[in-house]
């Protein structure tokens, strides 16, 4: 199966876009628009790859093009929903997420990091702000600022790796932030979101334990601090995944890339979560990312992908599928 997701992140501040994010525009050899790199370019490449193979007499096997929903919000109505259903079963899956960075086709992902999201909430004293210098009170937003700063500088989950095949753990505090009620009201509650990019070998229970140890240390240092951590429903644990580097699909992908690009493409780790995690969880070997475009262009204004990159992707994906289906390994 060649798999890609159809949904996108929100466009954000549309004044930062040079073109309408919802109106695809071709300019200077690039396709601009929301999701162009992540991952409508990859989806287009898969469709054309499937159409090409449909015109051939493939010696054995069949190719599925799986275009799914909801990847950006946890895949509950996408791959997580379909991966265990018999009609979607495959011998192997290639997810066509962008694997370019400063230039395209930087690596074939044999691993991807997972994602675990929490809300850190601090409680204080909600009251008339005119009394803040008259009575004992706790400003939840100020306390939260301290927790946010400490987490950014000090929180390190116990399972950290050195950037090898599984990558390394990244903690991103403050991806969301809110607090207080309005002017004139002393803030009684404030919160921020943190997303943690996890690696193979980590568990949700272990991560929660690390987080609680960290917060308890802050509580001991500041008896006035009332802070809790709560997992975000649906985004609490999106597991990392990996595929054997010697798997037939990996060999087919590297061989196809070599023939199309004229160079070897090394193995690497996708720094983000992909739907590959849920195919792997269902017991299906999966390349979690290998596709057109740069991840640097994703989730930001003026997202784009080179048209030539999409054309190249269709060739690589078609040849990868053909070689895997024909022989299980490149000839």
User: Is there a single domain that holds both residue 108 and residue 118?
Assistant: no
Determine contact, residues 294/318, Cβ cutoff 8 Å.
no
The token pair that represents 221 in the structure block: 């240092």
User: Is there a single domain that holds both residue 250 and residue 108?
Assistant: yes
User: Is there a single domain that holds both residue 203 and residue 245?
Assistant: no
Question: Among the three residues 180, 207, 231, which one is the final residue of a domain in this structure?
Answer: 231
User: Is there a single domain that holds both residue 105 and residue 119?
Assistant: no
User: Is there a single domain that holds both residue 122 and residue 216?
Assistant: yes
The domain that contains 195 carries what CATH number?
A: 3.30.70.360
Residue 159 is predicted with a pLDDT of 66
Q: Which of 28, 50, 49, 31 is nearest to 40 (CA)?
A: 31
User: Is there a single domain that holds both residue 52 and residue 149?
Assistant: no
User: Is there a single domain that holds both residue 103 and residue 244?
Assistant: yes
Model confidence pLDDT, tens digit, residues 268-318: 999 999 999 999 999 999 999 999 999 999 999 999 999 999 999 999 999
Q: How many helices (H) and strands (E) would you count in the chain?
A: 7, 18
Strand segments (E) across the chain:
2-5, 25-27, 30-32, 65-68, 93-95, 98-100, 108-112, 114-123, 127-128, 170-179, 185-186, 189-198, 226-231, 241-242, 267-270, 286-287, 291-294, 304-306
Model confidence pLDDT, tens digit, residues 95-143: 999 999 988 999 999 999 999 999 999 999 999 999 999 999 999 999 9
Residue 161 is predicted with a pLDDT of 47
User: Is there a single domain that holds both residue 122 and residue 225?
Assistant: yes
Is 212 in a helix, a strand, or coil? helix
User: Is there a single domain that holds both residue 107 and residue 131?
Assistant: no
The domain that contains 60 carries what CATH number?
A: 3.40.630.10
For 77-103, what is the mean pLDDT?
94
Rounded to whole angstroms, how far apart are CA atoms 330 and 189?
59
Model confidence pLDDT, tens digit, residues 164-178: 556 789 999 999 999
User: Is there a single domain that holds both residue 227 and residue 244?
Assistant: no
Cα angle 79, 84, 90; round to 5: 85
Is 189 in a helix, a strand, or coil? strand
Question: Among the three residues 177, 196, 231, which one is the final residue of a domain in this structure?
Answer: 231
Question: Among the three residues 204, 231, 258, which one is the final residue of a domain in this structure?
Answer: 231
Number of domains comprising the chain: 2
Residue 162 is predicted with a pLDDT of 45
User: Is there a single domain that holds both residue 73 and residue 62?
Assistant: yes
Instruction: Show the domain range for 261.
Output: 2-112+240-327
Residue 326 is predicted with a pLDDT of 87
| Predicted TM-score of the model (pTM) | 0.87
User: Is there a single domain that holds both residue 217 and residue 118?
Assistant: yes
């Amino acid at each position: 199966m060649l798999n890609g997701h159809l949904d996108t992140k929100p466009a954000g501040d549309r004044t930062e876009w040079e073109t309408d994010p919802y109106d695809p525009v071709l300019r200077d050899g690039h396709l601009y628009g929301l999701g162009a790199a992540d991952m409508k370019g990859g989806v287009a490449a898969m469709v054309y790859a499937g159409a090409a193979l449909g015109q051939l007499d493939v010696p054995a096997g069949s190719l599925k093009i799986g275009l799914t929903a909801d990847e950006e919000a946890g895949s509950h109505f996408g791959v997580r929903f379909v991966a265990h259903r018999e009609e979607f079963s495959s011998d192997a899956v290639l997810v066509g997420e962008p694997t370019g960075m400063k230039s395209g086709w930087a690596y074939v992902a044999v691993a991807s990091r997972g994602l675990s999201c929490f809300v850190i909430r601090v409680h204080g004293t909600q009251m008339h702000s005119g009394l803040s210098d008259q009575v004992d009170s706790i400003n939840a937003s100020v306390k939260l600022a301290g927790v946010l700063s400490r987490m950014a500088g000090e929180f390190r989950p116990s399972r950290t790796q050195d950037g090898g095949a599984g990558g390394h753990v990244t903690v991103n505090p403050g991806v969301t932030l809110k607090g207080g009620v309005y002017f004139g009201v002393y803030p009684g509650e404030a919160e921020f979101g943190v997303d943690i990019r996890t690696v193979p070998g980590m568990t949700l229970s272990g991560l929660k334990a690390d987080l609680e140890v960290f917060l308890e240390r802050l509580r001991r240092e500041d008896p006035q601090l009332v802070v809790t951590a709560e997992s975000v429903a649906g985004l609490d644990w999106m597991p990392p995944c990996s595929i054997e580097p010697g798997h037939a699909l990996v060999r087919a992908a590297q061989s196809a890339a070599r023939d199309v690009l004229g160079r070897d493409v090394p193995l690497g780790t996708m720094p983000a979560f992909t739907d590959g995690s849920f195919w792997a969880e269902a017991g299906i070997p999966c390349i979690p990312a290998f596709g057109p475009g740069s991840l640097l262009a994703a989730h930001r204004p003026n997202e784009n992908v080179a048209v030539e990159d999409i054309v190249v992707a269709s060739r690589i994906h078609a040849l990868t599928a053909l070689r895997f289906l024909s022989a299980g390994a490149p000839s």
